[in-house]
């Protein structure tokens, strides 16, 4: 039943609105549970702490070896580490 002046919605519109609501809630949940925005960017740059955690190394190891790591970048005066480069490096690194 709809009130006077309110257009009636067909079944498709009702279902579409329900799907939109489910998607909105899923996106909100993903954004809420991400610790920071950089976790959402899987091909961006990481700082030393993030890269150390990603590589299972210490930040001091990264600083000591930065000059020979092919995925390190200088941004301003800071060291950053390319995520895609680290993934490639790990894939080709002998075990």
What's the average pLDDT block by block, 10 residues per block, for the chain (95 residues)?
A: 64 91 83 56 82 93 94 91 91 81
- Give the pLDDT confidence score for residue 6 in this predicted structure: 58
Note the pLDDT of residue 3. Answer: 57
Q: What is the pLDDT of residue 30?
A: 72
Q: How far apart are CA 20 and CA 25, in angstroms?
A: 9
CB neighbour list of residue 33: distance below 8 Å, 6 or more residues apart = none
Q: Model pTM?
A: 0.53
Q: According to the model, what pLDDT value does residue 94 have? A: 79
pLDDT at residue 4, as a whole number: 58
Residue 34 is predicted with a pLDDT of: 58
β-pairing verdict for 78-82 and 45-46: antiparallel
Can you count the helices (H) and strands (E) in the chain?
4, 3
């Amino acid at each position: 039943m709809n009130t006077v002046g309110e257009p009636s919605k067909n079944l498709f519109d009702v279902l579409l609105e329900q799907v939109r609501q489910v998607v909105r809630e899923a996106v909100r949940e993903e954004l809420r549970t991400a610790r920071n925005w950089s976790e959402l960017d899987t091909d961006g740059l990481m700082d030393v702490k993030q890269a150390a955690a990603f590589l299972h190394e210490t930040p001091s190891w990264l600083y000591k070896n930065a000059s020979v790591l092919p995925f390190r970048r200088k941004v301003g005066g800071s060291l950053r580490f390319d995520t895609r480069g680290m993934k490639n490096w790990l894939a080709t690194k002998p075990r």
